[in-house]
Amino acid sequence: MTHSLTADAQPRSVTGRMVAVKEMAQLQRMLFEIEREFVRTATTLVYRVGDVELKYLICQHVWESAGHARFLRERGRELSGFGKDECVRESYSAIFEEAVRAEDSLVALVGFYRVLKPALLAAYRHYLETTHHLADWPSRKLVEEFILDEERHADEVAQYLQGVGGDEWTQHLSIALSAIGGWLGERESIAAPSDFEWISRTVPYRHLDTCNRGDSPIASTAYGYDPEQFPIVRSWLEDPETDARVLRVMVYVWLMMELDAVDYLATVFYETPVAPFDMHYDLARHLWDESRHSAFGYRQLPKLGVDLTRLEHSLDLYNILVQMSPPERYAMMTMEFEAGSFGTKAQIMDKMRELNDFEADTLLAFDRNDEQQHVRYGHRWLPEIMRLFNVEGSVDAFVANTKVRFEECSKTYGGQTPHSLSAEERLTGNKILALVGIK
C-alpha cells in the first residue's frame, strides 16, 4: 500500500443546522480509528518483547483500547456524521504501519508509548476543550475515563522504557504525525523534510519466526510422557489416581504455557486489517484472557515452591503456527486446542477439589468459563477469517484439513528448540513429585 503525508486527518467542513453535532461526531470517528489501529498494530509488540510481565501489560492495554474504540463507535453512531463503515483513513494506517517497522522490539515499544499514545492522550484532551460540557455530556464522560486510562498506561509502561533510547525513531514517527497536525489536526501541520522516507513503503512486515521470551529458559515443549524430561506428564493428567497436589502444580504449568497462545494469537490482528471491528474486539478479549490465564500459573507457581528460572517455556506452537495462515492458526487454537481441552481440565478440576484450595478452584473455573467463550468466538469468527482469505468450503472440512497441515508443519518446524537447561536443572514431573513430598 502506498501512503502519503497528507493532512486528511483534518475534520471535514460541515454546514447546516446540525453542524455542531457533526463536528463532534467526526472527531469521535477519528478517535475510533486511532484506537482501532492501535489494537491492530500494537499486538505486534506482544511476541516481540521478551519480558513476560510486559507481554501481559500490552495485552491489557490492547483490550482496554478495544473497549475505548467500541464505546466511541457506539456513541458515534448516535450522532449525525459519524459514518456507517469502520475503515481507517490512510494517513492513520500509514503512521501505525511505520510504527511496527522498528527493528528493535523495545524501540518499537518506545515509538508506540512515547509518540503515538501521548498524541492520543493529547487528542482526547483536545476533544474535552472543544466540545460543550452539557450538550455533549455522554461523550465527555467517556473521554474523561479514557484520559485516565491513557495516563495509567503511560505510568504502567514507564519502567520498561527506562534506558531504551530510540531518539531517532521517536523523531521519525513525530515527523510523520506532525505532517497531519496531530491525530485530530489540532496542531498546525509541519511538512516533512524532503528526505523523509517511509520505511513501510519498501520494507514489508513479517512476524518473528520464533517469539521472544527474554531471559526465560526455553524448549520445544513442556509436554511429554517421560517424567524425567517434562514437567507436564500427559499420562498423569489423564490418570484419576494422580495425586491432586501433583495435578495442581502441573495444571499451573499448563496455564503458564498459555503464553504460547498469547504470542501466536497476537499475530492474527495485523494480518486482518479489513476485518469487522467486532472481530478484533473479541480477539482482543481473547488475547487478554489468555494473558490472564498464563499469569495464573506465572504467579501461583512460586507460591508452591517452583523456581521459575528452572521452568522452560515451550515454543513449538508459535514456531509451527506462525508458518501457517491466520485462518489456520485461529482454527487450531479455537476448534482444536481449546475445544479439545475441556474433558481433561474437567477431570483435573474435580480431582483438585480434594485440596480445598479455593484460589485454585476459582482460577480454574474462570479459565474454563473463558475457554468456552473462546470456542464460541471460533464458531463466530473462523468463517469470517476464512472469507477474508478467500478460503472456500465448509468450516468442518477446513478444520479437518488444517489439523493434517498442522501435523505436516510440526515435522518441519516443531522440535527445533533445544533445552536451555539440562534434565538435572529443569523442572520435571519427578521433581514435582519431590516438591509436593511424594518419593
The distance between the two most distant Cα atoms of the chain, rounded to a whole number of Å, is: 82
Residue 10, pLDDT > 60, answer no
DSSP three-state, residue 224: strand
Burial profile 396-425: b = 16 or more Cβ within 10 angstroms, e = fewer:
eebbeebeebbeebbeebbeebeebeeeee
Distance CA 413, CA 216 (A): 21
Residue 230, pLDDT > 70, answer yes
CA-nearest of 336, 313, 347, 303 to 403 is 336
Residue 17, pLDDT > 60, answer no
The whole-number pLDDT of residue 5 equals 39
Kindly indicate the confidence band of residue 18, based on its pLDDT and cuts at 50, 70 and 90.
low
The whole-number pLDDT of residue 368 equals 93
The whole-number pLDDT of residue 135 equals 86
| Chain mean pLDDT for the chain | 94
The whole-number pLDDT of residue 439 equals 74
Report the share of the chain in percent with pLDDT over 90: 90
Report the share of the chain in percent with pLDDT over 70: 96
| Mean pLDDT confidence for 343-365 | 92
| Mean pLDDT confidence for 97-124 | 97
H or E segment to which residue 365 belongs: helix 358-388
Q: Which amino acid is at 286?
A: H
Task: Write the Ramachandran bin of 323: left for phi over 0, alpha for psi from -120 to 50, otherwise beta.
Answer: alpha
Residue 15, pLDDT > 60, answer no
Cβ atoms 31, 78 nearer than 8 A: no
Residue 4, pLDDT > 60, answer no
The set of residues, in sequence order, having a beta carbon less than 8 Å from that of 387 and lying 6+ positions away, is none
**Helices 342-352 + 358-388 axis angle, to 10:** 170
In 3-state terms, the chain is what percent helix, strand and coil (to 5)? Answer: 65, 0, 35
Question: 19-202 has which fold?
Answer: Ferritin (1.20.1260)
Please give the grid coordinates belonging to residue 308.
521459575
pTM of the complete model: 0.94
Distance CA 363, CA 347 (A): 15
Q: Which residue has the cell 520498561?
A: 160
| Mean pLDDT confidence for 335-349 | 91
Cβ atoms 265, 286 nearer than 8 A: yes
| Mean pLDDT confidence for 2-14 | 44
Kindly indicate the confidence band of residue 423, based on its pLDDT and cuts at 50, 70 and 90.
very high
pLDDT digits (tens, 9 = 90+) for 56-95: 999 999 999 999 999 999 999 999 899 989 999 999 999 9
- Residue 84 CB-density burial (10 A; 0-12 exposed, 13-18 middle, 19+ buried): exposed
Q: Which amino acid is at 421?
A: L
* DSSP letter, residue 165: -
